[in-house]
Each structure stands twice: as C-alpha cells, then as structure tokens.
C-alpha cells in the first residue's frame, strides 16, 4: 500500500508545484506561450469535469470535490487489497490526480489547466499533471484487466 500512497503523494506535489509555477511565475499576466509547433502554455479554468463537460457553473465545485473524495476513498480501499504492482501504481496515479484537481476546486472553484496540445488549428482540451496521471492510471488499470490472470502456484 505504501507504493500507491507514495506515488499519489508525489503526483499531488508535482501537480500543485507545476500549477503554482505556471500560474504565478510564467502566466502572470495570462497569455499563450508557444513552446513547440504543437504545444503551448495557456490559462484555462475548467469548471466542469473531463474536457470541460458539465462546466459553466451549472454544477457547484463542492459536488465535484465530494465526487473526487468518494472516488479517492474507494480507490484507497481497492489499493489496500491490491496485490499487483501495476494496480498499486495505477491507483496511486488516479488518487494523486483526483486529489490534486479537488484541491484546485477547493481553492479556486475550478481546475487550473495549462498544457495545450494542438495540430493544424485543432486543440486538444487543455490539461495538467493531475489529468495526465488520472488518464495514465486508468489506462494501466484497463490494460491490466485485459491481461490473463496469473495463477498462484500450489
């Protein structure tokens, strides 16, 4: 369980530090900073869930914080029972990301997203370290669920 919790804590710290650095050091005042032909730093306040769905102030931030807390508690219960290294890592990624975004909602009322990937005028929705960790964690859980179970030798 220590591995998952340690990774969750590391993701939480990395997420909050990168958000703070970008928001207060790089993007003051807010602007678009092109870094690569396909990658910018931007300021986006996401009031919704993934990709801004249910945003625009239609759902109070407290609802999303409560949902994040419930998911994190459920994932920690799962982590306690997880015997696979990949499951522990995946849960740590998801929990760290969920707590990082919930903390933004508590402090700002919205999640601060700043990574903007684009191609030929098409922009992927802006995201952050927490979002990346959640996505990677979910993909790891899905991939692991598709692998054949390893039988314990008797």
Calculate mean pLDDT across residues 126-146: 95
152, part of any domain: no
Catalytically active residues, by annotation: 113, 131
84, part of any domain: yes
Residues 6+ apart with CB under 8 A from 95: 4, 5, 8, 72, 75, 76, 79
63, part of any domain: yes
Residue 54 pLDDT exceeds 70: no
Work out the pLDDT band at 147, boundaries 50, 70, 90. confident
23, part of any domain: yes
87, part of any domain: yes
154, part of any domain: no
- The predicted-structure confidence for 12-22, as pLDDT tens digits, reads as follows 999 999 999 99
73, part of any domain: yes
Can you give the pLDDT at residue 57?
63
In this prediction the pTM is 0.88
Q: What percent of the chain has pLDDT over 90?
A: 75
Can you give the pLDDT at residue 151?
55
151, part of any domain: no
Residue 33: its H or E element: strand 33-36
Residue for token pair 């801004």: 52
HSE value, Cβ hemisphere, 13 Å, CA-based, for 11? 30
Give the count of domains, the chain. Answer: 1
Range(s) of the domain holding residue 138: 2-146
């Amino acid at each position: 369980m220590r591995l998952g919790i340690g990774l969750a804590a590391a993701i939480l710290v990395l997420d909050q530090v990168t958000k703070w650095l970008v928001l207060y050091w790089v993007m003051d005042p807010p602007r678009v900073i092109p870094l690569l032909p396909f990658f910018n730093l931007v300021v986006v306040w996401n009031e919704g869930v993934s990709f801004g769905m249910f945003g625009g102030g239609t759902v109070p931030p407290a609802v999303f914080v409560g949902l994040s807390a419930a998911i994190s508690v459920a994932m920690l219960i799962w982590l306690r029972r997880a015997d696979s290294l990949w499951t522990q890592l995946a849960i740590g990624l998801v929990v760290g990301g969920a707590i990082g975004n919930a903390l933004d909602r508590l402090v700002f009322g919205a999640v601060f997203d700043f990574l903007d990937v684009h191609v030929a005028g098409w922009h992927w929705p802006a995201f952050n370290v927490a979002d990346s960790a959640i996505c990677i964690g979910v993909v790891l859980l899905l991939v692991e669920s598709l692998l054949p179970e390893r039988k314990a030798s008797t």
